[in-house]
Copies of this chain bind each other. A is one copy, B any other.
């Protein structure tokens, strides 16, 4: 059986299932109860109690850092940091105390850090510069973190379950926007490192994650009317990255556009472009196109925000540019 549910509901189910399965799993975050409205953690406190659904003082540092400490002694924390913008206050904890900790200590005594950091990303909601960011490249740049970027409720649920079971710190990013989608009743997981071809095509490869998949699919549909056959690939996780699927596609199409809501410089597009160049240099018939935020803070006013963030139009333009090149 399939139902159509939101990403938040899908994540809520994933957390409840994993918390039932494993008593070491708990959730910690700001204002987790009493809550109003639907979120990934809504209602969990009723089933699991206040120790396993911990409403924390207002410190991202304490939330993220406590997750590290608990993980080191055998718990499996899910740290809800609300927005990626707020998590800048916890970057020492996330980058150095989580991502680098195991390696720094040589994996002492089988050290493990099974932590999931939940962060909301994305603009298009007039959130302005500090409630709209999608700093994927920030985390991908640093070693030791896995990175999940689901684009659908199905993937959000399946990837979150995988994240909770992973013995390493996982950054789990969900976008503020996104439609409900089909999710099976039966349990399932989505493995890390397996891209999905959202739309097969022969002319250009588009790589996109999260809400950018939605925009890219629309752009691809529009271009199909003009006879341009776009293949849209959603890697679902950036780390590990299913570069093989991307490279195979580029070998076929000869052209690549990476669509990313984050700022462009040293971004996801630069990295995927570099990896593709390294592996399929001769296949590339045009420079890798990058559709991204042109290195600006996200402005508040809707017309300005539209000008800065990727749009269906800007994706179409970039795709067409790789064809004329």
Binding site for B on A (CB under 8 A): 85, 88-89, 91-92, 95-96, 99-100, 103-104, 128-130, 135, 137-138, 140-144, 262-263, 265-271, 273-274, 277-278, 281, 286-288, 290, 295-297, 299, 325
Contacts and interface: CB of A to CB of B under 8 A. Distances in A.
Given A138-B142, A265-B271, A274-B290, 18 more contacts: A88-B92, A96-B129, A103-B129, A104-B130, A137-B266, A138-B138, A140-B265, A141-B263, A141-B265, A143-B263, A143-B295, A273-B273, A273-B274, A273-B277, A277-B288, A278-B287, A281-B287, A281-B325
Contact of A129 (B104, B140, B267, B325): B104
A286 B284 CA distance: 12
A226 to B, nearest CB: 24
A275 B141 CA distance: 18
Which 3 A/B pairs are nearest by Cβ-Cβ distance?
Answer: A270-B270, A100-B297, A88-B92
Contacts of A273: 270, 273-274, 277
A266 B290 CA distance: 13
A71 B128 CA distance: 23
Contacts of A85: 96
A104 B3 CA distance: 41
14 contacts: A88-B95, A88-B96, A103-B297, A104-B130, A104-B297, A104-B299, A137-B266, A141-B265, A143-B263, A143-B295, A143-B296, A270-B273, A277-B287, A278-B287
Contacts of A262: 141
A310 to B, nearest CB: 16
A195 to B, nearest CB: 17
A164 to B, nearest CB: 24
A139 to B, nearest CB: 9
Nearest to A92: B88
A95 B133 CA distance: 12
A74 B100 CA distance: 39
A89 B88 contact: no
Contacts of A296: 103, 143
Contacts of A138: 138, 141-142
